[in-house]
Chain A
Amino acid sequence: MTVSNKHHRDSRLAFWMLAPTFAVVLAFVVFPVIWNIWISLKPVSLADLRGDSLFQFNLGLENFQKVFSDPDFATVLLTTLVYTIGGSLLSILLGLMAALLVHAEFRGRALLRGLFIAPYIAPVVAVTFTWSFILDPQLGVFNRFAVDHGLLSQPIPFLSQRWFNLDIMGVGFRFPLALTSVILFEGWRYFPFAFLFILARLQAMPDEFYNAASVDGATPFQRFFHITLPQLTTVLSTLFLFRFIWTFNKFDDIFLLTRGQAGTKVLPLNVYDYAFGQFNIGASSATAMVLFGILALFIFVYFRWGLKIEN
């Protein structure tokens, strides 16, 4: 058999071996993305889905006009950014702290490493319901415990109140309570992701660095800032990229915690609300396109001007 003949046969075999994967991805990822562009340019309501009007050629930019002229659009976008950046940074910070704590050699370390992954792999439905219950103003253990023990004068509705007024030494200011709560939830649920990557990086670092620095009399803080942190910049910036992307389009967590009420409405919630609150599928698709566009822009900027990415 000639070489080119074998090559040809390999190609054919590879094609058939990859065909099922290719077909599934084409049908359920690539096609919907293209189909979404089509829908976003048409007036489509929830009632139109059965009819043939879906395929009519009546394109226009009305849906995008509607999305951008929504008086809440700017607020939603701002909330999305605060939620995304806050949630990403908090989860990475907590992951870093946990990794530094677990990195030191001690008994039961493997057990702890296992335990710390639990928030990330538990079903989102179960953990959001549990946290809503814990933070509930009437029946929640957090508020009741704090009130009973005099730590709080009255229960705090963590997930249902938009603003919280704080008075520190006569200076009053307010901060977004429910939004802060969902950001804290993000930190809790996703720190294991950062934890595992940072821990892996820490364990790959040679001990000599530390020993040398200790001999030179460096304090733990100096060691952290001058030795550990510089070694972690790549993994930290990669983590931020991934967490940013995934938090930016996260729907489940906020939907299950607050339904987007009390100042926690983010863009993915808008996608849902247009479709099933206002029965406007076209505007919903357009919102998804906007979300996708912002994400693409972020990735572009990140790779063009941001830090270099580990493979």
Chain B
Amino acid sequence: MGILFFVFIVAFPFYWMIVSSLRPLEEILMNPANLGLDIHKIDLSAYYDVLFDHGFVRYILNSLYVSIITAALSVALSTVGGYAVTRLRFRGQSFMSYSILIIYMFPAIVLVIPLYVIFSHMGLRDSINVLILVYLAQTLPVALYMLRSYFKTLPLEMENAGLIDGCTRFGVIWRIIIPLSAPALASVALYTFMIAWNEFLFAFMFLDTPDKFTLSRGVVQMAGSIHLSKQLVMAASVLITLPILFLFLFFERYLVRGMTSGAMKG
């Protein structure tokens, strides 16, 4: 009984999102309480409209660009940084680890106005690459934290052997650390991708030019026009949700691991 309740409240909105995106407008207006979907009346026109008339092809490409670059840079920088924090001795080591956690607590709503002001002043605000840097600042501390705890569990013997054999530190990272940490790196990549893909506040505040919109920004822009059919909004919602649900179907294990190690905030 309880299980059914949870399955229903979790699955129904997603079901409804998909069904409504496939249902012609008249059907939504005439018969809003029809829970099923008539297979003979499936209507894909909303997807066509959203993709080609409302510029979503562009938004998808922008979102992919932002999310992939953010994920790649996050993984690369936090691998190197995580190695430094766990394997090298230097002054301020514990300060570094501590400040990571404090930075994790800084809310985006406190950062967005001052960043808006300075970027506007410098003429940098409406830029997709600046947005990537902001996302990096949001994801890097957590990525570093996750990898740090993972690297600590790796055995030192192989690395020491590598160093004695004349590997450089970067050689050790490339040949030993990275292959051994594949699952943790996958977790970090997935999470940073997802955070960048889903992010709304900064994209909404910073981007003005439709050519630069990410999907989140584009959906909100489109839904803002008054006489818009719900079918289009739902089709757009499906487009933004689908890639995330796919990632999540294939990599659930990494996602659960990442989440319980604190990858997402919010």
Residues of A near any B CB (own CB < 8 A): 7, 10-11, 13-15, 17-18, 20-21, 24-25, 27-33, 35-36, 39, 44, 49-50, 54, 97-98, 101-102, 110, 112-127, 129-131, 133-134, 138-141, 144-145, 148, 188, 193, 196-197, 200, 245-246, 248-252, 256, 268, 271, 275, 281, 284-285, 288-289, 291-292, 295, 299
- Chain B facing A: main interface SS: helix
B33 touches A288 (CB 8 A): no
Q: How large is the interface on B (under 10, 10 to 19, 20 to 34, 35 or more residues)?
A: 35 or more
Q: A249–B248 Cα gap in the complex (Å)?
A: 27
B107 touches A14 (CB 8 A): no
Contacts of A193 in B (CB 8 A): 259, 264
B14 touches A118 (CB 8 A): yes
B9 at the interface (CB under 8 A from A): yes
A-B pairs with beta carbons under 8 Å apart, 7 shown: A13-B169, A15-B90, A121-B198, A123-B215, A138-B32, A256-B220, A289-B110
Contacts of A248 in B (CB 8 A): 107
10 further interface pairs, Cβ-Cβ under 8 Å (given A138-B32, A196-B259, A252-B200):
A28-B111, A114-B248, A116-B10, A118-B14, A123-B197, A124-B198, A125-B220, A130-B16, A250-B266, A292-B110
Q: Mark B130-171 against chain A: 1 for CB-CB distance below 8 A, else 0.
A: 000110111011001000000000000000000000000100
Q: How many CB-defined contacts (below 8 Å) exist between A and B?
A: 248
Can you name the residue of chain A whose Cβ is closest to the Cβ of B115?
A32
Contacts of A33 in B (CB 8 A): 106, 110-111, 114
Can you name the residue of chain B whose Cβ is closest to the Cβ of A50?
B121
Q: How far is the CB of A118 from chain B (nearest CB, A)?
A: 6
Can you name the residue of chain B whose Cβ is closest to the Cβ of A190?
B266
Residues facing A in B232-260 (CB within 8 A) are 233-234, 237-238, 240-241, 244-245, 248-249, 252, 255-256, 259-260
Q: Mark B1-17 against chain A: 1 for CB-CB distance below 8 A, else 0.
A: 01100110111111011
Q: A101–B20 Cα gap in the complex (Å)?
A: 31
Contacts of A20 in B (CB 8 A): 77, 80-81
Residues of B near any A CB (own CB < 8 A): 2-3, 6-7, 9-14, 16-17, 20, 28-29, 32-33, 35, 77-78, 80-81, 83-85, 88-91, 96, 103, 105-118, 120-121, 133-134, 136-138, 140-141, 144, 169, 194, 197-198, 200-201, 215-216, 219-220, 223, 230, 233-234, 237-238, 240-241, 244-245, 248-249, 252, 255-256, 259-260, 264-266
Q: A13–B81 Cα gap in the complex (Å)?
A: 10
